[in-house]
Amino acid sequence: MSFETTATIASFGGKLLKLAHQARSTSCQMKLNLYLPPNASASKPAPVLIYLAGLTCTGDNGAEKGFFQNMASKKGIAIVYPDTSPRGLNIEGEDESYDFGSGAGFYVDATAEPWKHGYRMYTYITEELPHALFGEFKELDGKRVSITGHSMGGHGALTLFLKNPGKYKSVSAFAPITNPMKCPWGEKAFSGYFGKDDHKRWAEHDATELISHFKGDTDILIDVGTGDNFYKQGQLLPENFEKAAKAAGKKVTVRYQDGYDHSYFFISTFADDHLEHAAKHLGV
């Protein structure tokens, strides 16, 4: 068994499992939460929604405050809540900033020293974690997977979807960082993980750049609160993403939610809509 189950918690008729496993890609033990809806079984495996959390978060925030389990239970969808970075790698400075290093892996594989030794959340989320999970939990249907996320995790969801055509049935995001090359959070993270000048690689992890070249159809749902201070500060830039999508003829629906902020009060309010969006594409 590659996963240790540290707790099993009843939630909305299903089970929330607190899991831990040794991950090669990130060179450390990774924790996560896995929600199994009622009646998921090896003979009737549940489709899966991956929820990528934002800066400072772990796999716990979404499970405790996002309120995804309610509709996931009704729809019969499993939810995977991974952590947002490696932990405890003893890299100098890894715990100094809220927006870089631990809690801020940005869902990329770092290429710059010293971060390339473990800050490889792209490989962890797209390959190692699903491979391990779907191998061990036969209640999960690894062929029907969608992805969503919040803020940095919204960036993760959008870029992982756009970089891997066919891997995910759908994508949605809450207040995502959609154009990291053009915002302070993204500039800091990409400078650190890729180096200041490797803008070609930066573009490979920028949703606004990626959607311009994406082959195939999209049906992307994004919610952004108009009272979100990070939106106001230009960290999210959803207008840039909308404009690029429109130019490329891709379907993107950005809903500007009046007065909502960046918190889990915002996420929980619209969680049902994102579950229903995923459910539609997952065929449930």
In the residue annotation, 41 being an active-site residue is answered as no
CB of 75 to a copy of itself, least distance (A): 16
Peptide bond preceding 114 in cis form (omega within 30 of 0): yes
CB of 83 to a copy of itself, least distance (A): 19
**The one-letter amino acid at 180:** P
Supply 214's token pair.
Answer: 């994406």
Q: Which residues contact 50 (CB under 8 A, 6 or more apart)?
A: 79, 80, 82, 125, 145, 146, 147, 148, 149, 157, 168
Cβ proximity to a copy of itself: between 7 and 247 the closer is: 7
Q: How far apart are CA 238 and CA 255, in angstroms?
A: 10
Q: Which residues contact 165 (CB under 8 A, 6 or more apart)?
A: 214, 215, 216
**The one-letter amino acid at 276:** E
In the residue annotation, 262 being an active-site residue is answered as yes
Number of other residues whose CB lies within 10 A of the CB of residue 198: 15
In the residue annotation, 43 being an active-site residue is answered as no
Catalytic residue among 151, 155, 223, 277: 151
Cβ proximity to a copy of itself: between 5 and 22 the closer is: 5
Binding site for a copy of itself (CB under 8 A): 9-13, 16, 64-65, 67, 69-70, 225, 227, 257-261, 263-266, 268-269
Cβ proximity to a copy of itself: between 111 and 263 the closer is: 263
Catalytic residue among 155, 262, 274, 277: 262
CB of 9 to a copy of itself, least distance (A): 5
Dihedrals phi, psi of 283, to nearest 5 degrees: 75, 30
CB of 41 to a copy of itself, least distance (A): 17
Cβ proximity to a copy of itself: between 73 and 126 the closer is: 73
Q: Which residues contact 74 (CB under 8 A, 6 or more apart)?
A: none
CB distance 198 to 177 below 8 Å: no
CB of 84 to a copy of itself, least distance (A): 19
By CB atoms closer than 10 A (0-12, 13-18, 19+), residue 120 is: buried
Cβ proximity to a copy of itself: between 16 and 147 the closer is: 16
Catalytic positions, please? Answer: 151, 228, 262
